[in-house]
Amino acid sequence: MNEATDEQILFLFQNPGTKDKGFTLLMDRYNRRIYWHIRRLVVAHEDAQDLLQETFINVYKHLHTFNGDSKLYTWLYRVATNECLRLFKERKRFLGSFEEISEKLVDTLHENSTLESDQVLVRLQEAILRLPEKQRLVFTLRYYDELPYEEISKILDSSVSSLKTNYHLASSKVKAFMIKEA
């Protein structure tokens, strides 16, 4: 089974004798995609690895509750996004505010960037990190993952019109930041 479909993965997972095989196929199929989604939100590789592991632990525990109302990857993104939000909430207790968390993420971004050729990408990521939480989530899911608003709506439990507004505002802020920093 080289490229198993979501339906095949779910079928394997639901049967006790093939549950582990189904889960392995799920991880093989979505591991990289979910990792980069998390990494763009939390910046640090170590945090992304930890959250990816937590995401897949939660997926393993709760995949039986997946009812097919959305695509499997949408559900996985929601679990991963919730893990990121949990980390941000936990850090808010120590750092005080979302803005302080964003500043810490920007510092981490600059610490991990060494190549001069990456500076445009670093500035883009910095612009995104400076967005308010909801705008950052919407922008990341739409810009990098190219998800349709309907899928983002299911991931973030928000209306499509609200998401479009947040994306438009985020895009404007990112453009303004990039122009200012050019």
Digit-coded pLDDT (tens) for 89-118:
887 777 667 677 777 777 777 776 655 546
Assess contact for 41 and 136: CB atoms under 8 A.
Answer: yes
The class of domain 6-181 in CATH terms is mainly alpha
CA–CA separation, 58 vs 177, rounded Å?
37
- The better pLDDT of the pair 37, 92 is held by 37
Average pLDDT of the chain, as a whole number: 89
Q: What is the 3-state secondary structure (H, E, C) of 5-34?
A: CHHHHHHHHHCCCCHHHHHHHHHHHHHHHH
> What is d(CA 119, CA 103) in angstroms, rounded to the nearest whole number?
18
pLDDT at 148: 96
Q: What would the two tokens of residue 87 be? A: 């980390």
